[in-house]
Amino acid sequence: MIEGILIEGLVYGIMALGVFIAFRVLDFADLTVEGSFPFGAAAGGALLAGGAAAPAALLAAFAAGALAGCATSAIHHGFKVPPLLAGIVTMTGLYSVDLRLLGGRANLPLITFNPVMRGSEAWLGPGVPPVLASAAAFGLGALALVLALDLFFHTELGIAIGALGDNETSVVSVGADPTALRSIGIALANGLAGLSGALAASYQGFADVNFGSGVIAAGLASVMLGELLLPSSRIGVQLLRVLAGSVLFRAIMYAGRSWGYLAGITPNDLRLLNALLVVAALAASRGRARLSRDAALRRAKRGRGSPARGGGGAS
Amino acid sequence: MIRLEGVEVAFGLGTQDERRVLRGVELEVPKGQRVSVIGSNGAGKTTLLNAVAGSVRLAAGRVLIDGSDRSGEPEWMRSRCVGRVRQDPLAGTAGEMSVLDNLAMASRKGRRRLLPAVTPRLRRELAERVAELGMGLEERLRENVNRLSGGQRQALTLLMAALARPAVLLLDEHTAALDPRNARIVTELTRRLVAEHGLTSIAVTHDMGRALEEADRLLMMHEGRIVADLQGAAKEGMDVEGLVALFGEARGGRLEEDGALLR
Ligand SMILES: Nc1ncnc2c1ncn2[C@@H]1O[C@H](COP(=O)(O)OP(=O)(O)OP(=O)(O)O)[C@@H](O)[C@H]1O
Ligand SMILES: [Mg+2]
């Protein structure tokens, strides 16, 4: 059970990393994720079912997601429409592409061809229980991914993408092309969602065109739970806590599924639980911001006999 | 060298509230010259800088930098040879990023390779440059920029602009949002950086006294035109009263009101 929650949390955590990069780093409300996730699942699933090797299928799923991201940024930049609209257009169109990839069916079972799961269960040799080996494989894989992303966000390209979501003017004034940077960032975010989709298909044992429904809300909940767990301004920690938040989110959902009946919660209520989690995380982070501000005010009062003024935006 | 040839900028072209904001501006600024621009609110000073920086589309005319026509170039590309510090101290830096990352981005001149942005060598170099600001920022390289004061942030923006060794530095009332002490520090710093790097600069200001004192050349703008261009002896012989009178002439009388507007 614990291993299951961990694996599920890491698999969907990769999608949540994409959501984090789009929504938090780039400040780009990207609904494409809801389409690139099943797109990656369909592309990866179709390849796996056709006998492709696991790394090739996962790479293709990443590429598929990145392509979806490129479509969204082309619409956004080309027609100067808001991110939400561009994302919805891509997401809607991808649904039909997914159906084609899955051979006209809504669902493709991966029971017989599942090299991703079989590989992850067997890599430590026959002495290790498959589910433990699998959890270790996904854990190491996710850590390697976070490490790679951390390195990326410390390169010239990476810090420029980070600065873009923060203040576009500053990026333009150092002579970097904001359109190219945003396109690369969105491609990366959706590439991660696509990869996550293919992994999810492997983990669930099937690819489904409706895989994407609700993933953004789950990703956002994971991002916010992570932010509650570990406040930090270091990008490496921020990435890592997305994974932690995702595992926590899956644990809460598992609890809702398994013991929710005690409180009258049915599986039908899980989406509502997800929405409430987002609201609760928002409320908690506001509450904490207020608490720390009050504490600062109290300190200032004690120090000077009068509360410090918030000295404008710059201080 | 900067050259503007017949530059026109208009907003709302073809609509009822069409506004011609720059009207046939001709200007040539030789290398190393320090230019100050004065004029009342809405005269087109910021728009003039926008035209040089490429942040507005020209309705007509050309902008040449070091002899080549840059009119069609997007703003980000032109930023590689045009440095700019705006009035808003928050505008020029990414607040959620460290002092070091901001500086590194500026010193890379927009290059975006998959190589570490901050090498130990660059870090040492930048720490030295920051120390020259005399604000103690070299101790705070890892801190996020939004924890700096407005004055420190403006000084950092200025340093970032200078690091890229631009062909021209544009300053738009860049001390106006600062308290008197910080304004003085940033003004002093500007003077030093411009002198050190021999930068060509175009500075918009409402302080006529300082404009006369510090610039090699003074431009007065009114309703989208350069109505006075003083340098050399003409500038030396000018005082603030003379400028106010000149400005009144340009507007066609109404002296007292103009004096109030320009102060
Ligand atoms: N984006 C825009 N759309 C429409 N009108 C604009 C725009 N930008 C500037 N203007 C108009 O152009 C005129 C000149 O503006 P500009 O900002 O260049 O003035 P300025 O000389 O810098 O004034 P100030 O001293 O107030 O900064 C103003 O009348 C302004 O309303
Ligand atoms: Mg202005």
Q: pLDDT (tens digit, 9 = 90+) per residue, A219-259?
A: 999 999 999 999 888 999 999 999 999 999 999 999 988 88
Q: Mean pLDDT throughout B195-204?
A: 93
Cβ-defined contact of B75 to A176 (cutoff 8 Å): no
pLDDT at residue A165 greater than cutoff 50:
yes
Contacts of B35 (CB under 8 A, 6+ apart): B29, B201, B202, B203, B215, B216, B217, B218, B219
Nearest CA residue ID for atom 17, ligand 1: B46
Separation of alpha carbons B193 and B154, rounded Å: 13
* Cβ–ligand 1 contact at B39 (below 6 Å): yes
Q: Identify the weakest region by mean pLDDT among A141-155, A290-304, B84-98, B131-145.
A: A290-304
Q: pLDDT (tens digit, 9 = 90+) per residue, A211-223?
A: 999 999 999 999 9
* Closest CA–CA distance from residue A237 to any residue of chain B (Å): 14
* pLDDT in the model for residue B263: 47
> Ligand 2 mean position to B85 CA, how many Å?
12
Q: What is the mean pLDDT of chain B?
A: 89
* Cβ–ligand 1 contact at B45 (below 6 Å): yes
Q: Mean pLDDT throughout A137-143?
A: 97
* pLDDT in the model for residue A298: 80
Q: What are phi and psi of A8, to 5 degrees?
A: -60, -45
Q: pLDDT (tens digit, 9 = 90+) per residue, B15-72?
A: 888 889 999 999 999 999 999 999 989 999 999 999 999 999 999 999 999 999 999 9
> Ligand 2 mean position to B235 CA, how many Å?
23
Nearest CA residue ID for atom 3, ligand 1: B11
* pLDDT in the model for residue B2: 94
Residue whose tokens read 């890599």? A123
The burial class, CB within 10 Å (0-12 / 13-18 / 19+), for A312 is exposed
pLDDT at residue A313 greater than cutoff 80:
no
Residue B105 structure tokens: 């981005």
* pLDDT in the model for residue A111: 84
Check: CB of residue A242 under 8 Å from CB of residue A222. Answer: yes
Q: Mean pLDDT throughout A18-37?
A: 97
Candidate from B75, B86, B114 with C-beta closest to A155: B114
* pLDDT in the model for residue B18: 86
> Ligand 2 mean position to B36 CA, how many Å?
13
CATH classification number, A2-303, choose in 1.10.3470, 3.30.1600, 2.30.38, 2.40.350: 1.10.3470
* pLDDT in the model for residue A31: 96
Separation of alpha carbons B83 and B172, rounded Å: 11
Q: pLDDT (tens digit, 9 = 90+) per residue, B107-133?
A: 877 788 889 999 999 999 999 999 988
pLDDT at residue B253 greater than cutoff 80:
no
Complete DSSP assignment for A131-152: HHHHHHHHHHHHHHHHHHHHHH
* pLDDT in the model for residue B160: 93
Separation of alpha carbons B140 and B153, rounded Å: 12
CA-nearest residue to A163 within chain B is B94
Instruction: Label residue A177 by pLDDT band (50, 70, 90).
Output: very high
One-letter-per-residue 3-state SS of chain B: CEEEEEEEEEECCCCCCCEEEEEEEEEEECCCCEEEEECCCCCCHHHHHHHHHCCCCCCEEEEEECCEECCCCCHHHHCCCEEEECCCCCCCCCCCCEHHHHHHHHHCCCCCCCCECCCHHHHHHHHHHHHCCCCCHHHHCCCEHHHCCHHHHHHHHHHHHHHCCCCEEEEECCCCCCCHHHHHHHHHHHHHHHHHHCCCEEEECCCHHHHHHHCCEEEEEECCEEEEEEECHHHHCCCHHHHHHHHHHHHCCCHHHHHHHHC
User: Which of B46, B219, B226, B261, when mutated, tests ligand 1's pocket best, judged by the most ligand atoms within 8 Å of its CB?
Assistant: B46
* pLDDT in the model for residue B246: 84
Candidate from B83, B112, B144 with C-beta closest to A176: B112
Angle at alpha carbon of residue B229, lines to B223 and B232, rounded to 5° = 165
pLDDT at residue B260 greater than cutoff 90:
no
pLDDT at residue A71 greater than cutoff 80:
yes
- A134 HSE (CA, 13 A, CB side): 24
User: Which of B7, B8, B36, B47, when mutated, tests ligand 1's pocket best, judged by the most ligand atoms within 8 Å of its CB?
Assistant: B47
* pLDDT in the model for residue A303: 56
Q: pLDDT (tens digit, 9 = 90+) per residue, A36-49?
A: 999 999 999 999 99
* Cβ–ligand 1 contact at B182 (below 6 Å): no
pLDDT at residue B258 greater than cutoff 70:
no
A173 near B CB under 8 A: yes
CA-nearest residue to B157 within chain A is A170
pLDDT at residue B255 greater than cutoff 50:
no
A104 near B CB under 8 A: no
Nearest CA-CA partner of A107 in A203, A201, A11, A12: A201
pLDDT at residue A161 greater than cutoff 80:
yes
* pLDDT in the model for residue B240: 84
Instruction: Label residue A304 by pLDDT band (50, 70, 90).
Output: low
Supply the ipTM of this predicted assembly.
0.87
Residue whose tokens read 């072209």? B13
Candidate from A159, A171, A314 with C-beta closest to B90: A314
* Cβ–ligand 1 contact at B41 (below 6 Å): yes
Instruction: Label residue A307 by pLDDT band (50, 70, 90).
Output: very low
Cβ-defined contact of A155 to B113 (cutoff 8 Å): yes
pLDDT at residue A305 greater than cutoff 50:
no
Nearest CA residue ID for atom 31, ligand 1: B42
Neighbours of A153 (CB within 10 A): 21
Separation of alpha carbons A186 and B94, rounded Å: 19
In Å, the largest CA–CA distance within chain A is 74
pLDDT at residue A311 greater than cutoff 50:
no
What are the angstrom distances between the C-alpha of A313 and each of A94, A173, A309, B144, B145? 42, 21, 11, 14, 12
Please state whether the predicted TM-score (pTM) of the whole model is above 0.80.
yes
Q: Which atom of ligand 1 is closest in space to residue B50's alpha carbon?
A: 18
* Phi and psi based region of residue B16 (left: phi greater than 0; alpha: psi -120 to 50; beta: remaining): alpha
Cβ-defined contact of A175 to B91 (cutoff 8 Å): no
User: Which of B15, B38, B45, B223, when mutated, tests ligand 1's pocket best, judged by the most ligand atoms within 8 Å of its CB?
Assistant: B45
pLDDT at residue A102 greater than cutoff 80:
yes
Q: Mean pLDDT throughout A187-194?
A: 98
A170 near B CB under 8 A: yes
Separation of alpha carbons A37 and A191, rounded Å: 9
Size of interface A-B (CB pairs under 8 A): 109
CA-nearest residue to A310 within chain B is B149
